[in-house]
């Protein structure tokens, strides 16, 4: 890991292929940081039904919503961020709203590439600088961002460097510079990658690690090998299982005892074994790369992770980070 403990950074981005567990793991990282005494802001980019499910509550767009002790959730919407930004520049919010609701400007914004990403990152920069009321310097010690899925997530992180070459003067230029400095400051910011142990997510994770982040100049945090399925049997258990399976008499007795479920029990066991073997091969690929340490997150049964599951994963993360240190 680059320079210092992961949870001592100021901003963590969680990225990875769609469905790889970004929201679950971003929530778990946020809880893990909170459990270490940090005041945390968990930022979802765009609406996230899973975040609402995890915290069993609505998280209205653009409202800092306390969801747990020392843990605030925030759903970031680029239009709202732009409105806030223009309002701050003009110092009048209603004027900002009037300008932005102008039809011509609306059309222009639909077509203009990159502004959504830029204002979104600008708002994240703003959140990490927010002063606290009463004594402490900063409102949040750490911002955990549940970033968009890899394809889009990477262009999302690349936008400020592109804009740096386009905008050459004015307030936008210095703000773009601030955002880019935040992204590339490895002491402050790190990108974490989530991957389930299947071909496509692992390929995407490797691509992020090998090609994209290094040229972007950003720091890497950890790779989460998510939903690891452990084998059902050890060596001896496997041999006993095979013997039982080959014993016709035993199978007849079993079929007599469980006429409905006997066969499906064996099928389920074999299916799980197949997944465990596949899981092991992809885990090896992730663990053999040298860019970032890997934290294994076991598959949580029955498969939809609620707050108690997220807290279990947070404990796994903290234990792994302690071993790492």
Ligand X SMILES: Nc1ncnc2c1ncn2[C@@H]1O[C@H](COP(=O)(O)OP(=O)(O)OP(=O)(O)O)[C@@H](O)[C@H]1O
Binding site for ligand X (CB under 6 A): 16, 18-24, 50, 149, 226-227, 297, 299-300, 303-305
In angstroms, what is the minimal distance from the CB of 42 to ligand X?
Answer: 12
The answer to whether the CB of 31 falls within 8 A of the CB of 311 is yes
SS (H, E, C) 27-86: HHHHHHHHHCCCCEEEEEECCCHHHHHHCCCCCCECCCEEEECCEEEEEECHHHHHHHHH
- Residues numbered 168-187 forming contacts with Mg ion, rule: CB under 5 A: none
From the list Mg ion, ligand X, none, partner contacted by residue 193 (C-beta under 5 to 8 A by kind): none
Give the residue with the Cβ less far from Mg ion, 51 or 118. Answer: 51
Of all residues in the shown chain, the one whose CB is closest to Mg ion is 23
In angstroms, what is the minimal distance from the CB of 48 to Mg ion?
Answer: 5
From the list Mg ion, ligand X, none, partner contacted by residue 149 (C-beta under 5 to 8 A by kind): ligand X
Edge-to-edge strands of the sheet including 65-68?
65-68, 71-76, 40-45, 142-146, 11-16, 189-196, 220-228, 294-298
Q: Name the β-bridge partners of 219.
A: none
Residues 6+ positions from 73 with CB-CB distance below 8 Å: 41, 42, 43, 44, 51, 55, 59, 64, 65, 66, 67
From the list ligand X, Mg ion, none, partner contacted by residue 21 (C-beta under 5 to 8 A by kind): ligand X
Q: Give the up-direction half-sphere exposure of residue 74: CA atoms within 13 A in the CB hemisphere.
A: 24
Give the residue with the Cβ less far from Mg ion, 22 or 38. Answer: 22
Give the residue with the Cβ less far from ligand X, 175 or 227. Answer: 227
From the list ligand X, Mg ion, none, partner contacted by residue 24 (C-beta under 5 to 8 A by kind): ligand X
Q: Does 23 bind Mg ion (CB under 5 A)?
A: yes
Q: Name the β-bridge partners of 146.
A: 14, 44
Contacts with Mg ion by CB under 5 A: the residue count is 2
Q: Does 24 bind Mg ion (CB under 5 A)?
A: no
The answer to whether the CB of 64 falls within 8 A of the CB of 175 is no
In angstroms, what is the minimal distance from the CB of 110 to ligand X?
Answer: 24
The answer to whether the CB of 73 falls within 8 A of the CB of 44 is yes
Judged by CB under 5 A, the stretch of 21-29, 97-105, 113-121, 284-292 that binds Mg ion is 21-29
Q: Which residues bind Mg ion (CB under 5 A)?
A: 22-23
């Amino acid at each position: 890991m680059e320079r210092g403990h992961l949870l001592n950074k100021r901003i963590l981005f969680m990225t990875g292929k769609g469905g790889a567990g970004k929201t679950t793991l971003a929530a778990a990282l946020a809880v893990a940081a909170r459990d270490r005494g940090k005041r945390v802001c968990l930022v979802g980019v765009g609406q996230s039904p899973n975040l609402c499910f995890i915290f069993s509550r609505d998280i209205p767009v653009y409202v800092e919503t306390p969801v747990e002790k020392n843990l605030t959730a925030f759903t970031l919407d680029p239009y709202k961020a732009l409105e806030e930004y223009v309002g701050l520049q003009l110092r009048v919010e209603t004027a900002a709203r009037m300008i932005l609701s102008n039809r011509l400007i609306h059309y222009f914004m639909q077509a203009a590439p990159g502004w959504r990403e830029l204002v979104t990152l600008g708002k994240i920069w703003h959140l990490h600088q927010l002063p606290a009321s009463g004594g402490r310097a900063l409102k949040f010690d750490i911002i955990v961002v549940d970033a968009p899925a890899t394809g889009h997530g990477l262009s999302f992180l690349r936008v400020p460097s592109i804009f740096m070459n386009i905008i050459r003067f004015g307030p936008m230029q210095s703000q773009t510079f601030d955002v880019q400095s935040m992204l590339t400051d490895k002491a402050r910011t790190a990108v974490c990658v989530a991957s389930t142990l299947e071909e496509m997510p692992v390929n995407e994770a490797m691509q992020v690690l090998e090609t994209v982040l290094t040229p972007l100049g950003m720091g890497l945090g950890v790779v989460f090998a998510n939903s690891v399925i452990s084998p059902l049997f050890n060596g001896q258990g496997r041999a006993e299982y095979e013997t039982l399976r080959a014993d016709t008499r035993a199978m007849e007795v079993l079929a007599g005892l469980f006429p409905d479920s006997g066969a499906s029990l064996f099928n389920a066991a074999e299916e799980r074994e197949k997944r465990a073997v596949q899981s092991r091969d992809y885990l090896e690929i992730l663990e053999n790369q040298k860019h970032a340490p890997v934290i294994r997150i076991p598959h949580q049964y029955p498969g939809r992770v609620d707050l108690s599951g997220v807290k279990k994963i947070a404990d796994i993360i903290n234990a792994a980070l302690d071993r790492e240190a």
